[in-house]
């Protein structure tokens, strides 16, 4: 049987797992595909590869297809998110010096207190916070702007955001280029391992169910390759479903630890997969429920309301028309293709393609084709509820 060969980009992070597992565990082969996996040094390199056609599809930051379709980010290109590969999985970390100042100011080291931790961080840095994020259009950046903005930090002026590739975040904080970072695992844990920083917050404490990475491709490639698109989506969702099963966690750590993929020890990788994080050297691990989700609670569904939330924030920051930006963004999250290409896999489909974001403080059953979907909690730390309708 001949297989279609696709060139797929990824950045070495734990949440690249659905793509890596799809190839390594045979899910791609079962769909008639072979994935040439191309590790990228940065998100800008990955963006350029997809935009210029050297990559067919890629793991992408969830705001990246939105920004590119809005004409932002250097290479404006109509780009779509076919599905969500992962939810959550980011950490907030600070330098050892800032951690010491926060403790001196009375910080109690609560790992689930975005309000208290954020205020102590602002006081420790004297209202001129230098924070590293992997890319300007990333969920890391969106969560940082949302969190610190709600606590009164003004941008620009009081928040200095640096773009740093994830594998270099530990080096940047060691060199005193930044005071803090928001990054995906395992690179926050690597800062702890290297003794250069401490983890102070899981990003899920800011938004409890934030779409982190998506499977992205150019819209013209999707239209020209409907069969490969369908097969790729099915392979990745099958891999995500496998990753979501607790009994597969240790094997997943071993797969991801294979040389050349992410290149960090499997014990560090397992911290993200299990949610048992070590926040500082010689400390006991702390468990964060749903730290990184690959499949449960309709995690793979590309909710158009999530795209609208991203676009609304970007539009406010860069001066675009909010309503038009939200409309464009909602067209980028392809819930239509998700329904068409995956329904016969037995995956339950939500009854709607958009919802009120942040409205659920507890797990809640919602209308779906099979009646098996339970969503939430998905609350924002400040209690805001986002309405994706134009008048919302």
- Write the pLDDT tens digit of every residue in 326-377: 999 999 999 999 999 999 999 999 999 999 999 999 999 999 999 999 999 9
C-alpha to C-alpha distance for 152 and 122, rounded to whole angstroms: 9
Give percent of the chain above pLDDT 70. Answer: 99
| Per-residue pLDDT at 222 exceeds 90 | yes
Q: Among candidates 372, 35, 391, 14, which has minimal Cα distance to 236?
A: 35
Which residues are CB-contacts of 317 (< 8 A; sequence separation ≥ 6)? 145, 155
Average pLDDT over residues 264-275: 96
Q: Confirm if 329 and 70 have CB atoms less than 8 A apart.
A: yes
Decide if pLDDT at 392 tops 70: no
Tell me how far CA of residue 3 lies from CA of 37, 137, 315, in angstroms. 15, 34, 42
Tokens in use for 308? Answer: 């609208």
Distance CA 120, CA 114 (A): 10
Euclidean distance between the first and the last CA atom of the chain, given in angstroms as a whole number? 51
Distances (CA, A) of 381 to 109, 119, 210, 233: 17, 14, 12, 32
For residue 13, is pLDDT > 80?
A: yes
At 223-269, the pLDDT tens digits run: 999 999 999 999 999 999 999 999 999 999 999 999 999 999 999 99
């Amino acid at each position: 049987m001949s297989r279609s060969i696709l060139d797929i980009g990824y950045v070495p992070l734990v949440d690249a797992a659905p793509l890596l597992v799809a190839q390594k565990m045979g899910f791609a082969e079962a769909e008639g595909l072979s994935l040439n996996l191309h590790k990228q040094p940065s998100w800008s390199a990955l963006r350029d590869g997809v935009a210029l056609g050297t990559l067919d599809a890629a793991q992408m930051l969830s705001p990246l297809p939105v920004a590119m379709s809005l004409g932002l980010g250097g290479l404006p290109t109509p780009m779509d998110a076919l599905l969500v590969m992962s939810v959550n999985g980011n950490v907030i970390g600070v330098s050892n010096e800032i951690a010491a100042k926060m403790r001196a100011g009375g910080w109690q080291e609560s790992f689930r207190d975005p309000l208290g931790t954020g205020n102590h961080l602002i006081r420790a840095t004297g209202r001129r916070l230098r924070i590293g994020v992997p890319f300007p259009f990333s969920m890391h950046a969106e969560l940082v702007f949302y969190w610190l903005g709600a606590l009164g930090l003004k941008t620009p002026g009081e928040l200095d955001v640096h773009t740093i590739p994830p594998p270099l975040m530990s080096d940047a904080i060691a060199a005193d280029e930044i005071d803090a970072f928001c990054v995906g695992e395992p690179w926050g844990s690597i800062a702890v391992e290297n003794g250069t920083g401490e983890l102070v917050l899981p990003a899920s404490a800011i938004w409890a169910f934030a779409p982190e990475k998506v499977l992205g491709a150019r819209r013209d490639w999707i239209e020209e390759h409907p069969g490969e698109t369908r097969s790729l989506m099915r392979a990745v969702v099958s891999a995500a479903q496998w990753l979501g099963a607790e009994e597969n966690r240790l094997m997943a750590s071993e797969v991801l630890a294979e040389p050349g993929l992410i290149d960090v020890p499997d014990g560090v990788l397992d911290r993200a997969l299990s949610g048992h994080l070590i926040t500082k050297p010689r400390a006991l691990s702390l468990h964060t429920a749903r730290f990184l989700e690959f499949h449960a609670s309709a995690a793979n569904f590309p909710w158009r309301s999530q795209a609208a939330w991203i676009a609304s924030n970007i539009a406010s920051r860069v001066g675009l028309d909010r309503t038009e930006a939200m409309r464009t963004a909602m067209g980028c999250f392809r819930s239509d293709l998700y329904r068409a290409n995956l329904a016969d896999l037995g995956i339950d489909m939500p009854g709607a393609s958009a919802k009120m974001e942040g409205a659920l403080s507890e797990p809640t059953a919602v209308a779906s084709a099979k009646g098996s979907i339970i969503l939430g909690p998905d609350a924002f730390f400040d209690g805001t509820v986002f309405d994706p309708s134009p008048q919302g």
